[in-house]
Amino acid sequence: MSQYVVQKEVRIKAEPKRVWQALTDPEQTKEYFFHCRVQSGWKEGDAISFKGRMFYIIPIEMQGKIVAIEPGRLLKYTLHNKGGSQSTVTDCLNYEDGETILSISDDVGNGDGAAKRFARSERGWDKVLNGLKRYVEAH
């Protein structure tokens, strides 16, 4: 197990079905996930990709595979990192007191560049989760 695991959580005033929709719809992910559209068939073993342009100019393309999926509750997927390593992201949704609690775990792996990936991931998930919360609660 990696020592570089980002753990984040956000409470969103919406039902899990609505949050799930925002996590899996490419037109919605581009609104809060660094202008990236997510693409997948949304079944275990399917490919998943995030493609877009950060700050509208820096091309981003992340690819991986769905490891586990329970619509409205759990999404776990891998993403390939530069240098041949792999990150494993787990999104868990729970509903409590009228809010969806979205917990994110991002195991960025070990080895060369792990500390840098960890720091970048920490900052990135803060932006993504804050943007997701604002987007879902406004729509």
CATH code for the domain in which residue 83 is found? 3.30.530.20
Q: Which domain holds residue 114?
A: 5-138
Amino acid 92: pLDDT: 98
pTM of this structure? 0.90
In the chain, the number of structural domains is: 1
Q: DSSP strand E in the chain: where? A: 5-12, 36-40, 47-54, 58-70, 74-80, 86-96, 99-107
Which tens digits make up the pLDDT trace of 47-102? 999 998 877 788 888 899 999 999 999 999 999 877 777 899 999 999 999 999 99
Encoded tokens for 124:
């990135």
pLDDT at 2: 66
Residue 1, pLDDT score: 55
